[in-house]
Amino acid sequence: MAKIIRVNMETKEINQEEAGIYKSYGARGFIARFLTNEVDPTCEPLGLYNKLIICTGLLGGTMISSSGRLSVGAKSPLTNGIKEASAGGTAANDLARHGIRAIIFERLPAADDKNTYVLVISEEGIKLEAMNELLHMGARNTITALRQKFGDKAGIICNGPAGEYMMRGAGIVCAAPRGEMRFAARGGLGAVMGSKRVKAVVIIPAVVSRLEYFDKAVFTEAAKEYHQMLVDAMPTIKKTNQLYGTTGMFKIVNELGLCPTRNFTLGAFDKHAEIGGEKLVELIKVRGGEGKTGQSCMNGCMIKCLSVFPDENGKEICSTVQYENLSLLGSNLCLGSLDSIARLNYKVNDLGLDTIETGAALGVAAEAGIAEFGNEESFMKLLNEIEAATPIGRVIGNGVKITGEVFGINDLPMSKGQAFAGYDPRALKGNGVTFAMSPMGGDHTAGNAYGARATVPPLACEGQGALSYKLQLQMAGLENLGFCMFARAYLFKKPELFTKFAYGICGDKMTVDEFWEQGRETARLEYEYNVKSGVSPAQDKLPEFMYRIPLPPNNTVFDLSNEEMQKGLVH
Ligand code: SF4
């Protein structure tokens, strides 16, 4: 059976136990149940009693395409409720092949223990090492330093300086094969890692996989079927995912008038053609050098949505620029240059910050006159302040809510204290339901209505609650297995594959309905946890300006009835 590793940061004891009651749960499913059972919802997020969970999905280590995402969870210092965030990279597959489902960091180092710790997992065992030379090192250099020390195939999960400074906008980085930074970005989980003085987890790949299957024949059959679906869809995948990643969405989002622009005051950006996916691909081709499309964040992924964006000399600026970066660090800041966006994106990543939270905070800072819309340098200056942990840097690094409160801006694009992802809810109302009702706050990965716009029109007032509900269940189910959300277009055509995968790994026989029910139970537990944390149903709403100020060019407000909103509540 898969193992859980417990690391007590106070005593430095490391213990192993079988997954036991958690054997059928991975990633978000595991985190919801574990926090419910073990972490007092009233505890302080950066205090002694919170626990940081690093967890694979059920399919981690199987090398099924796009199924090796890593989930991280804890009580969030940003929302004060439950949080799960997931990342690509190689670490989840590496952990699962050591037979590990989850690592739990518990307690805090003693007050006089100022060391910076790295947990090293290898065939020789698991040990905690002090590596103070890594203190406040940028995430990319941390990955490089650790791969130099432990081998270039080592799986790395690490914290950037923002997390070490316990800034609430910090995420946790998971290294991709070439050292690119992938992010469990949302909810301030990097701050929880920083509170425990854990800089990184290193996984030296297992010589032989210890992953166990309950029924390998059923699993292999389902895997073949799924991979054949991807092979059949490959001509489309090559023209879309592999070429543009998610940046292809930018043009459509802009046309629909739901693209966060100028601190969420407009829904379309006049310089959209300069920063859309088409321009990105054109520049990657023209500039050549290290620029590439069609890269993978983990071994075995056939969808390969990552790109490397180069400068004019062909040297990598950032890998990868995706839709959320174009919108939150581009149009939201009125930056009409992909070079500017890529430079800010790299810097935010290297600091270990969530690009969504930080982009929204920078937009609010510009609104307050602390930076200037359209001026890259003014935003880079603020990122340098974060790096130096100056008072102003700490304000921005703590996210959109604190930035707004300190600088006197009331209309903040957030719900439950967390910045909206790149979809203005006034023009994509299904996402407004998800942002308001989901336990995860302003997080599109909890249930993104963008892909369902042909079924429920983005501006319609009917059907948005039911749509969000369905998407939330689907995402909770998908994330239990560790699948990337970009695989859903294929998997949802044959949801019985989910039940075969789950049976093949852990022996649970389920109907498709029972599989979705498992997702519903995950979201229900999360909601209950939030209520006990003090994140009450009174917070199941959007900020008032969304209901009051029309968003150009559609000139719509968020106007769903309470009855419609309640249909999006998973309970
Ligand atoms: S589709 Fe993209 S994000 Fe998803 S696993 Fe593959 S490379 Fe990573």
* Rounded distance between C-alpha atoms, residue 489 and residue 473, angstroms: 15
Cα 304 to middle of ligand 1, angstroms: 5
Computed over its alpha carbons, how large is the radius of gyration of the chain? Answer: 22
Pocket test for ligand 1, best of 64, 93, 304, 323 (most atoms within 8 A of CB): 304
Q: Which atom of ligand 1 is nearest to the CA of 176?
A: 8
C-alpha dihedral sign at 77, 83, 86, 90? positive
Cα 371 to middle of ligand 1, angstroms: 34
Pocket test for ligand 1, best of 56, 65, 66, 320 (most atoms within 8 A of CB): 66
pLDDT tens digits, 186-203: 999 999 999 999 999 999
* Rounded distance between C-alpha atoms, residue 416 and residue 474, angstroms: 22
Q: Which atom of ligand 1 is nearest to the CA of 302?
A: 6
Q: Which atom of ligand 1 is nearest to the CA of 304?
A: 7
pLDDT tens digits, 302-316: 999 999 999 999 999
**Average pLDDT over the chain, rounded to whole?**
97
How far apart, in Å, are the Cα atoms of 430 and each of 206, 446, 535? 43, 12, 21
Kindly give, in sequence order, each residue whose CB lies less than 8 Å from that of residue 477, ignoring residues fewer than 6 positions away: 498, 515, 516, 518, 519
Cα 292 to middle of ligand 1, angstroms: 15
Cα 227 to middle of ligand 1, angstroms: 15
pLDDT tens digits, 120-171: 999 999 999 999 999 999 999 999 999 999 999 999 999 999 999 999 999 9
pLDDT tens digits, 425-458: 999 999 999 999 999 989 999 999 999 999 999 9
Q: Which atom of ligand 1 is nearest to the CA of 66?
A: 5
* pTM score: 0.97
Cα 49 to middle of ligand 1, angstroms: 34
Q: What pLDDT is attached to residue 1?
A: 86
pLDDT tens digits, 29-57: 999 999 999 999 999 999 999 999 999 99
* Rounded distance between C-alpha atoms, residue 500 and residue 489, angstroms: 18
Structural contact between residues 353 and 168, judged by C-beta atoms closer than 8 angstroms: no
* Rounded distance between C-alpha atoms, residue 157 and residue 181, angstroms: 10
Which pair of tokens denotes residue 61? 């280590």
Q: Average pLDDT, stretch 405-426?
A: 97
* Rounded distance between C-alpha atoms, residue 495 and residue 479, angstroms: 14
DSSP 304-345: --EEEEE-TTS-EEES---HHHHHHTTGGGT---HHHHHHHH
Tell me the percentage of the chain whose pLDDT exceeds 70.
100
Q: What pLDDT is attached to residue 133?
A: 98
> Residue 76 carries which DSSP code?
-
**Strand order, beta sheet including 198-203:** 125-130, 117-122, 198-203, 155-158, 172-175, 181-184
Cα 181 to middle of ligand 1, angstroms: 13
Residue 350 has pLDDT above 90, yes or no: yes
Cα 423 to middle of ligand 1, angstroms: 21
* Rounded distance between C-alpha atoms, residue 23 and residue 35, angstroms: 15
Structural contact between residues 557 and 429, judged by C-beta atoms closer than 8 angstroms: no
Q: Which residues line ligand 1 (CB under 6 A)?
A: 66, 88, 296-298, 301, 303-306, 484, 486
Residue 571 has pLDDT above 90, yes or no: no
* Nearest C-alpha neighbor of 354 from the set 170, 199, 84: 170
Cα 321 to middle of ligand 1, angstroms: 13
Which residue, judged by its Cα, is nearest atom 5 of ligand 1?
66
Pocket test for ligand 1, best of 93, 230, 297 (most atoms within 8 A of CB): 297
Q: Which atom of ligand 1 is nearest to the CA of 296?
A: 7
Query: Angle at the Cα of 169 (from 167 to 170), degrees rounded to 5?
Result: 75
pLDDT tens digits, 1-25: 899 999 999 999 999 999 999 999 9
Is the pLDDT higher at 536 or at 73? 73
**Which stretches of 452-542 are assigned E, i.e. beta strand?**
none
Cα 306 to middle of ligand 1, angstroms: 7
Q: How far apart are the first and last CA of the chain?
A: 31
Task: Tell me the pLDDT band of 489, cut-offs 50, 70 and 90.
Answer: confident
Which pair of tokens denotes residue 183? 């992010």
Q: How many CA atoms lie within 13 A of 293 on its CB side?
A: 24
Pocket test for ligand 1, best of 244, 295, 308, 486 (most atoms within 8 A of CB): 486
* Nearest C-alpha neighbor of 478 from the set 4, 34, 71: 71
* Rounded distance between C-alpha atoms, residue 455 and residue 450, angstroms: 10
